């Protein structure tokens, strides 16, 4: 089981029988979305003990905080602590089927190689469709992106296309109008100068210090100097990359998650819709997660925000060149953890592979 090294662990002081019964209750509830009764658990999982023994064990687990007993039902429902036990102690890595892997790849490749925003949107769609939870992601923080190359391309007598490429493979372009025709060798001279002065700096550094870095780069009466002044006035726009200072959350198809039994009541569905509208809350939750070398799984009351207390977040990092983003799913705590973990892990690795320049 992969998990964040920094994520707190719960000590589970359970007997072997309690562990078996608890696992059976969790699996039963995940499969049926109905409180698990002792007869159902005993019949479905062949525990080798009577329903009465299962019932007594379930009562002990309730006393220990792993199950609770809805007053309208004879069965019991896992608590957040039960799911944490299940994630930490029970589940094993699961391989996706060939069909599932191919479907994820098809969804991701429809986004196009190295188009980060488009790829992230495709990934959240794929996660939703395959996991039946709500896929979500934040794009990399582009303010930390490092400029790799600048190009000036003359597209007409009085217009130049400026092209900036960063190490993650992202490309940004703007058109600049010129006061008159510029010789080709002047464009070459300025391109060399700009690359010498600016390549290797982050977008944040370029936005804050562009004039200082170029002020003495070429004499004012030189043809390249006149063009440089135009670049200093227009070039800042080149580094004002859309999303460079933000962590906008991309969401998959909410309707898929809304179809889960947990959201059949109007009040629960309303809370789900309200949650998807709180983009800053979701961005903060994703941005504050530590993944180490694996996945991060936070369950119900483990979240800092009360609005997330009915949900589980399963996330992983992905890489776009030297940049990192977060991708995963959010769903009710009654989640098929083994399958979801495998889907998130595989998708994050596929996204990283497709975004590698």
Long-range CB contacts for residues 67-71, cutoff 8 Å, separation at least 24: 67/22, 67/25, 69/35, 70/35
**pLDDT value for 159:** 86
Of the residues 209, 239, 269, which one is the last residue of a structural domain?
239
Same domain, 227 and 309: no
Q: Is 205 helix (H, G, I), strand (E, B) or coil?
A: helix
In a domain, 6, yes or no: no
The Cα 23–Cα 86 span in angstroms is 7
Question: Residue 259 sits in which domain range?
Answer: 98-141+247-354
The Cα 28–Cα 49 span in angstroms is 17
In a domain, 7, yes or no: no
Q: Smallest Cα–Cα separation from 54: which of 215, 138, 62?
A: 62
In the numeric block, the tokens 């190689």 are attached to: 113
Specify whether the CB–CB gap between 297 and 313 falls below 8 A: yes
Spatial strand order of the sheet with 134-138 comes to 249-251, 134-138, 323-332, 311-320, 296-299
Same domain, 222 and 181: yes
Same domain, 280 and 350: yes
Specify whether the CB–CB gap between 103 and 130 falls below 8 A: yes
Cα Rg for the chain, rounded, in angstroms? 27
In the numeric block, the tokens 């600048």 are attached to: 150
**pLDDT value for 7:** 45
Give the tokens for residue 257: 């998650």
In a domain, 157, yes or no: yes
Same domain, 219 and 151: yes
Q: Smallest Cα–Cα separation from 198: which of 208, 184, 185?
A: 208
Q: Give residue-wise pLDDT tens across range 237-270.
A: 777 765 544 557 899 988 888 888 888 877 888 8
List, for the chain, all residue ranges whose pLDDT scores fall below the cut of 50. 1-2, 4-9, 244-245
The Cα 31–Cα 13 span in angstroms is 26
In a domain, 40, yes or no: yes
274: domain CATH number is 3.30.450.40
Same domain, 317 and 194: no
In a domain, 2, yes or no: no
Measuring CA to CA, how many Å separate 215 from each of 25, 112, 200, 211? 70, 39, 18, 6
**pLDDT value for 6:** 42
> What is the pTM (predicted TM-score) of this model?
0.77
79: domain CATH number is 1.10.10.10
**pLDDT value for 336:** 95
76 bridge partner residues = 36
The Cα 193–Cα 75 span in angstroms is 74
**pLDDT value for 172:** 77
The Cα 328–Cα 316 span in angstroms is 6
Of the residues 239, 274, 292, which one is the last residue of a structural domain?
239
Work out how many domains the chain is built from and give that number.
Answer: 3
């Amino acid at each position: 089981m992969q998990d964040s090294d920094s994520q707190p662990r719960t000590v589970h002081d359970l007997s072997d029988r309690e562990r078996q019964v608890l696992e059976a209750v969790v699996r039963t509830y995940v499969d049926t979305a109905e409180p698990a009764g002792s007869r159902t658990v005993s019949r479905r999982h062949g525990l080798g003990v009577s329903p009465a023994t299962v019932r007594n064990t379930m009562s002990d687990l309730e006393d220990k905080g792993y199950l609770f007993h809805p007053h309208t039902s004879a069965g019991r429902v896992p608590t957040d602590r039960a799911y944490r036990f299940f994630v930490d102690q029970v589940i094993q890595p699961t391989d996706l089927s060939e069909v599932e892997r191919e479907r994820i790849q098809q969804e991701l490749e429809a986004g196009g190689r190295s188009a980060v925003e488009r790829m992230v949107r495709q990934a959240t769609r794929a996660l939703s469709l395959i996991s039946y939870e709500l896929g979500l992601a934040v794009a990399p923080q582009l303010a930390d992106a490092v400029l790799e190359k600048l190009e000036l391309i003359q597209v007409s007598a009085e217009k130049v296309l400026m092209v900036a490429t960063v190490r993650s493979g992202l490309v940004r372009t703007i058109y600049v109008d010129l006061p008159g025709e510029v010789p080709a060798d002047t464009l070459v001279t300025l391109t060399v100068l700009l690359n010498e002065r600016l390549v290797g700096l982050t977008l944040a550094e370029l936005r804050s210090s562009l004039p200082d870095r170029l002020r003495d780069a070429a004499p004012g009466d030189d043809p390249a100097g006149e063009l440089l002044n135009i670049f200093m006035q227009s070039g800042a726009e080149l580094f004002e990359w859309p999303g460079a200072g933000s962590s906008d959350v991309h969401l998959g198809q909410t309707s898929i998650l809304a179809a889960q039994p947990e959201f059949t009541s109007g009040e629960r569905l309303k809370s789900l819709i309200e949650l998807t509208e709180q983009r800053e809350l979701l961005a903060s939750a994703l941005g504050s997660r530590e993944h180490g070398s694996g996945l991060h799984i936070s369950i119900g009351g483990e979240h800092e925000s009360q609005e997330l207390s009915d949900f589980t977040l399963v996330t992983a990092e992905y890489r776009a060149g030297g940049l990192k983003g977060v991708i995963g799913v959010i769903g009710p705590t009654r989640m098929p953890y083994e399958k979801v973990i495998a889907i998130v892990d595989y998708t994050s690795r596929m996204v990283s592979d497709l975004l590698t320049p």
